[in-house]
Structure 1
Amino acid sequence: MFEKRSLSSQKVALQPLTQQHLADLFEAGQDPKLWRWILTNYCKTPEILNDWFWQTAQFDAQQQLVMAIVNQADNQVVGTTRLFRLDTFNRSAEIGHTFIGVPWQRSYVNTHSKYLLLKYAFETLNLVRVTFCTHENNQQSRNAIARLGARFEGIHFKDRLLADGNFRNSARFSIIDEQWSEIKPKLEEWL
């Protein structure tokens, strides 16, 4: 079970998502390019975002931890991410459902966010496996995941149902506990 707690580095804070984050999250999610690869655009209207918050972001707190990504320099919400599909028996989880506003993409935000979640997963929750999935054609996301040190495991066909009724093929990556000791110092250098 996830404990609702904030995680922070010198540049990024991950805070359990609350209604207080929604106005800034809505602003961060206004560029249509963000939603090309994400399953559904929950920042289309404030009403959709609020519905998403109550129906999806609050769903099954024992298996997911939904976080607002906050830029420490100006205390601005720049996106969201989550650790989810917690499997306590197999000691695994997935990191994903991430979006980062366009002005903060290809910056320190993703590296800091993923580092904080990975450190929490491996060092606090004592997980042995963390999975990442993205649309098979989302090369920018695939590159970002590989840059973290995650290993490509293959394409999972018809893995996720999209809002338009089609299925997504997902590129799946993982990091396991034996890799974390090598990956952690590399990520810390980038911080």
Structure 2
Amino acid sequence: MVAKSPAPTALEGRFVRLEPLDPSAHAADLFAAGGGDEEVWRWLPAEPPATEEELRELAGRVAAAARAAGGLAFAVRERAGGRAVGWTTYHDVSTVDERLEIGWTWYGRAHWRTPVNTETKLLLMGHAFDTLGMGRICWKTDHLNVRSQQAIVRLGAVREGVFRRHRLRSDGVTWRDSVYFSMLATEWPDAEARLRARLES
């Protein structure tokens, strides 16, 4: 199977719907979910947006950057309430190398430790492996962001190593080491079964 680039599409789950990020359509919900919350934005490569307009502009930049990297940005809409509660992206896509990265993910704090992240990642990984034909998915996160690292490991990803002094943080002063994780297509069936069982429990 030849890997394909992500195309604008919606991914439907039981708890969430992922749809292409539209700054105009999603900004109000997203700002209500987590705009200005310093804990939500603590490890992200941007300062917390102080206004809905700032969040709209940032969402536009994120969507454009994902497209420029061959990927796609998604708004994460909670099905129960119908509101967008965060976003996530496919980026650093290489169809030749059959790989992509999942990242730039955030959710409003009210949706932490709920099925939102598990099902979002289940939908993204299933689409990447089963529809796009990717052989590898990777994630990277700040070495100080222990909560993110634990969440990635719970997906079934393998910790690969650390890129030291990899990225300047959004404060413009401190540097982060990036911890890399990956999952291969051969590892996906077992991971999918575990994640589906978790959602059913």
TM-score (norm 1): 0.94
Residue number among 170, 173, 183 corresponding to 1:175 in the alignment: 183
Is residue 108 from structure 1 mapped to residue 115 from structure 2 by the alignment?
yes
Unaligned runs of at least 5 residues, structure 1: none
Corresponding position of 1:57: 63
Deviations 1:105-143 (A, max 9, x none): 011000000000000110011101000111101111110
Residue 164 of structure 2: SS of its match in structure 1?
strand
Provide the C-alpha distance between the structure 1 equivalents of 2:50 and 2:80, rounded to a whole number of angstroms: 27
Is residue 73 from structure 1 mapped to residue 104 from structure 2 by the alignment?
no
Is residue 189 from structure 1 mapped to residue 201 from structure 2 by the alignment?
no
Residue 65 of structure 2: SS of its match in structure 1?
coil
Quick one: structure 1 residues 142 and 60, their matched pair in 2 at CA, closer, same or farther if it must change by over 3 Å? closer
Which residues in structure 2 correspond to 1:9-88 (within 5 Å)? 9-18=13-22, 19-30=24-35, 31-41=37-47, 43-59=49-65, 61=67, 63-88=70-95
How far residue 39 of structure 1 moved from its aligned partner, in angstroms, is 1.3
How far residue 158 of structure 1 moved from its aligned partner, in angstroms, is 2.0
Residue 120 of structure 1: SS of its match in structure 2?
helix
Residue number among 7, 12, 35 corresponding to 2:11 in the alignment: 7
Provide the C-alpha distance between the structure 2 equivalents of 1:164 and 1:2, rounded to a whole number of angstroms: 32
Contact 1:15–1:68 (Cα < 8 Å) also in 2? yes
Matched residue type, 1:162: R
Does 174-183 or 158-167 show the bigger shift? Answer: 158-167
Aligned positions, number: 191
Provide the C-alpha distance between the structure 1 equivalents of 2:165 and 2:97, rounded to a whole number of angstroms: 24
Is residue 123 from structure 1 mapped to residue 130 from structure 2 by the alignment?
yes
Which residues in structure 2 correspond to 1:90-169 (within 5 Å)? 90-165=97-172, 166-169=174-177
Unaligned runs of at least 5 residues, structure 2: none
Residue 127 of structure 1: SS of its match in structure 2?
coil
Provide the C-alpha distance between the structure 1 equivalents of 2:198 and 2:147, rounded to a whole number of angstroms: 18
Provide the C-alpha distance between the structure 2 equivalents of 1:143 and 1:59, rounded to a whole number of angstroms: 26
Does 126-135 or 30-39 show the bigger shift? Answer: 30-39
How far residue 88 of structure 1 moved from its aligned partner, in angstroms, is 1.1
Does 111-120 or 50-59 show the bigger shift? Answer: 50-59
CA RMSD, Structure 1 to Structure 2 (Å): 1.4
Contact 1:42–1:52 (Cα < 8 Å) also in 2? no
Q: Runs (4+) of structure 1 moved beyond 4 Å?
A: none
Between the aligned residues of both structures, percent identity stands at 35
